[in-house]
Structure 1
Amino acid sequence: MATKVEVKQLLEAGVHFGHLTRKWNPNMAPYIYMERNGIHVINLYKTVAKLDEANEALKSISASGRKILFVATKKQAKDIVAEKVANVNMPYITERWPGGMLTNFVTIRKAVKKMASIDRMKKDGTFNTLSKKERLQVDRLRAKLEKNLGSISEMTRLPGALFIVDTMREHIAVKEAQKLNIPIFAMVDTNSDPRDVDYVIPSNDDASKSIDIIMTDVTNAIAEGLAERKSEKQSDNEGKESAEPKAKKKAAAPAEEPKAKVEEAPKEEVKAAAPAEKPKAKVEEAAKEEAPKEEAKTEAKEQADDLTKIEGIGPKAAEALTKNGVDSYASLAKAEPENIKEILTEASSRMAHLDPTSWPKQAEMAANGKWDELKEWQDSVKGGVE
């Protein structure tokens, strides 16, 4: 497990330096320690606490297999973010936020697919059949797409969360994420509004050292989540492999049972006919005793399902549903969309716009283990949420 960042390290990196007092946002008051020489000083103890909270959430999101999109277009942050995030294989935007990146994701995916089609043209020789002018135009288009969208070429679905450096500069990304109810993690300076962010990390978002230390700690947490996911997959595969030989042995064993029954048959003929009905009563009693056990097993299976794998359900929506007893795919499949809507609206006004109409249908596919069918539905019908 990676070591947690300490207050002394944050202090040395200048994370505590805020903006001028005349530029402050009053909503940042709980995170401000004092004022010195006309500049606000951030409370680093609260920064450490909020950073740990954000890291836990990011770790769980990455462990569930969902992508986290990093956004940092300011000059002093773009190179640091690109370097750190590339190490954990997450998508990032460091050039310019393309309008509609999230709200019009289907169109953005078409632009990404255009890059892939150009690459195929170059491989199969079609590119060489074009005129010199056309080849030049295609190369320019490919370079432009690579610059703006190259880092998200593997992001086939909407991200599970956004991590933003400087919410004032990336206000369009914040608005799009809020509209789709995607959790927002952000480095928030004293001039920004923390109410727009789900997981606030109060810190200096202008100094390169400050950005570097926060990004290092965040990406380490994501890497831990990915490692956990990998180990779980390996253990599942090993369990399946060990279960197969046992199943084969069990299938082969019953073939010898009829011989024993044939040898015991003459001894049983001596017994009276009347007691022959007693085993039936025992069988019925055994069936009654096993019924509650089977019900307990089905109840156990319905527990601890990851509802965020359903398209449209974010971590906060999943938490609200779980608190109200809808904590498994089976229970969600039986729920009425109107009741789900009431639960979400009571939990938070920001989730009132969500449309849960398709959630029971998706949950039914998940409960039956039809993951390929669910993924195909998400990609073709809605664009999907990872």
Structure 2
Amino acid sequence: MASKTEVKDLLEAGVHFGHLTRKWNPNMAPYIYMERNGIHVINLYKTVAKLDEAKEALKKIASSGRKILFVATKKQAKDIVADKVSNVNMPYITERWPGGMLTNFVTIRKAVKKMAAIDRMKKDGTFNTLSKKERLQVDRLRAKLEKNLGSIADMTRLPGAIFIVDTMREHIAVKEAQKLNIPIFAMVDTNSDPRPIDFVIPANDDAGKSIEVILTEVTEAVAEGLADRKNDKQEEKKAATETAEAVAEAPAKEAAPAPAVEEEKVTAKEVKEEAAPVEEKKEKVAEPKAKKEAPAPAAEVEDLTKIEGIGPKAAEALNNNGINTYADLSKAKADKIKEILTEASSRMAHLDPTTWPKQAKMAANGKWDELKEWQEKAKGGVE
């Protein structure tokens, strides 16, 4: 459980200092405590409440396995964000925000892949075959890409959320996230408009100490979410191992008492059938054999985890509700699948099953190459 934020810590860091009263945004009125010497003072009790709410939401997103993109290009925030966020292995932008970073994510991924291609050239010796001028040009391009996009090299798909320091400065990032319905978390000062922000943290976004104390709280919540995810995976692995061991031991346990039971049955029959006619004996012996020779047909279960977005737990939830094959999944409606997942576990409520029936149809028809190609495009950020 994330530790509760103390008002005293925020007060010492100067989180309560807003902008000049003449620069205020009227929509920030609910978060302003008072005006002192021509400067607005932020209500830190509301800051604590909003910060705790944001921490809980970020923890859930991190535990679901989605990335959280941190954006802070102002001078006093760059180093703080790079230091704090790199500790939790999340992507961040501290240089210029590249236009279309989210709305044109496929192109941004191409630039990141170009950086990886240059690295491969240096490893396989191709780089040394270039002229001196060409090598200089390639090195400059690599340095430029590293500076602007190096911190998002591991972000292979759109982030699950975006955290912004100073929404006035990063207004383009806010608009792109709004367009794609990506949850926005932000430090919002008294001169900013809080309406486009999903999780507002009213705070001083100009002082380094203020930014540091908020980022420390936020990254700790993200770290807790990642730790929960790691623990869940270990528990799943442990449970799977125990299940496999139990299945392996089951036949041995069941086989031991079997001979004794059969002997008792034969003995009982011999006692009862001594006075019975031979034909009746044959019929009685034949009946159990007929029952043994007609076992109930086992339901066919296909590996649904081959569908992009379906994990072991989601597959188990679908199987429990009668969706065992790709054909079953292709006929199911997304709303119904969402309902099944949510009922099975609140941790799966974030999953989006919109494309699962479409993928399942390709799998059911044996179009595996087409399905793989579709999944590669989806991972790149587009369907």
Structures share a fold, TM > 0.5? yes
Give TM class, smaller chain. Answer: 0.7 to 0.9
SS at 1:86 equivalent: helix
**What corresponds to 1:110 in structure 2?**
110
Gaps of 5+ in 2: 292-307, 311-320, 338-351, 363-369
Q: Deviations over 1:173-215 (max 9, x none)?
A: 1111111110000000111111110000000111111000000
Answering whether residue 380 of structure 2 is matched by residue 379 of structure 1, we say no
The letter for the 2-side match of 1:383 is G
Tell me how far 1:59 sits from its aligned partner.
0.3
**What corresponds to 2:52 in structure 1?**
52
Tell me how far 1:244 sits from its aligned partner.
2.1
SS at 1:227 equivalent: helix
**What corresponds to 2:31 in structure 1?**
31
**What corresponds to 2:180 in structure 1?**
180
Q: Which sits farther off after the overlay, 244-253 or 182-191?
A: 244-253
- Conservation of the 8 A alpha-carbon contact between 1:24 and 1:190: yes
Change (3 A) 1:335 1:26: farther
**What corresponds to 1:236 in structure 2?**
236
- Conservation of the 8 A alpha-carbon contact between 1:68 and 1:161: yes
**What corresponds to 1:89 in structure 2?**
89
Tell me how far 1:36 sits from its aligned partner.
1.1
Q: How does 1:267-282 map to 2 (within 5 A)?
A: 267-268=268-269, 270=272
Q: Deviations over 1:264-321 (max 9, x none)?
A: 3353252686997xx99xx9xxxxxxxxxxxxxxxxxxxxxxxx958xxxxxxxxxxx
Q: Deviations over 1:219-248 (max 9, x none)?
A: 000011111111111111122222222211
The two structures have a TM-score, normalised by structure 1, of 0.74
Tell me how far 1:357 sits from its aligned partner.
5.8
- How far apart, in 2, do the equivalents of 1:329 and 1:16 lie? 55
- Conservation of the 8 A alpha-carbon contact between 2:47 and 2:201: yes
**What corresponds to 2:161 in structure 1?**
161
SS at 1:106 equivalent: helix
Tell me how far 1:374 sits from its aligned partner.
8.7
The letter for the 1-side match of 2:376 is D
- Conservation of the 8 A alpha-carbon contact between 2:31 and 2:42: yes
Rg comparison, structure with higher value: 2
- Conservation of the 8 A alpha-carbon contact between 1:157 and 1:379: no
Gaps of 5+ in 1: 284-307, 311-327, 341-354, 366-372
- How far apart, in 2, do the equivalents of 1:148 and 1:108 lie? 11
**What corresponds to 2:266 in structure 1?**
265
The two structures have a TM-score, normalised by structure 2, of 0.75
**What corresponds to 2:70 in structure 1?**
70
Change (3 A) 1:333 1:22: farther
- How far apart, in 1, do the equivalents of 2:113 and 2:139 lie? 15
Change (3 A) 1:379 1:19: farther
- Conservation of the 8 A alpha-carbon contact between 2:157 and 2:379: no
- How far apart, in 2, do the equivalents of 1:95 and 1:356 lie? 35
- How far apart, in 1, do the equivalents of 2:149 and 2:162 lie? 16
Change (3 A) 1:380 1:268: farther
**What corresponds to 2:225 in structure 1?**
225
Tell me how far 1:2 sits from its aligned partner.
5.0
Answering whether residue 40 of structure 2 is matched by residue 40 of structure 1, we say yes
Tell me how far 1:361 sits from its aligned partner.
3.7
SS at 2:212 equivalent: helix
Q: Which sits farther off after the overlay, 16-25 or 260-269?
A: 260-269
- How far apart, in 2, do the equivalents of 1:143 and 1:80 lie? 22
- Conservation of the 8 A alpha-carbon contact between 1:189 and 1:202: yes
Change (3 A) 1:197 1:357: same
- Conservation of the 8 A alpha-carbon contact between 1:62 and 1:225: yes
Q: Deviations over 1:342-372 (max 9, x none)?
A: xxxxxxxxxxxxx99636446999xxxxxxx
**What corresponds to 1:317 in structure 2?**
none
The letter for the 2-side match of 1:265 is V
Change (3 A) 1:139 1:109: same
Q: How does 1:298-309 map to 2 (within 5 A)?
A: none
* Cα RMSD for the two superposed structures: 3.5
- Conservation of the 8 A alpha-carbon contact between 2:163 and 2:186: yes
The letter for the 1-side match of 2:78 is K
The letter for the 2-side match of 1:39 is I
**What corresponds to 2:192 in structure 1?**
192
- Conservation of the 8 A alpha-carbon contact between 2:156 and 2:379: no
Q: Deviations over 1:61-88 (max 9, x none)?
A: 0011110000000011011000000000
- Conservation of the 8 A alpha-carbon contact between 2:72 and 2:166: yes
- Sequence identity (%): 74
The letter for the 2-side match of 1:168 is M
- Conservation of the 8 A alpha-carbon contact between 2:309 and 2:353: no
Change (3 A) 1:171 1:332: farther
Aligned pairs, how many?
321
**What corresponds to 1:358 in structure 2?**
355
The letter for the 2-side match of 1:129 is T
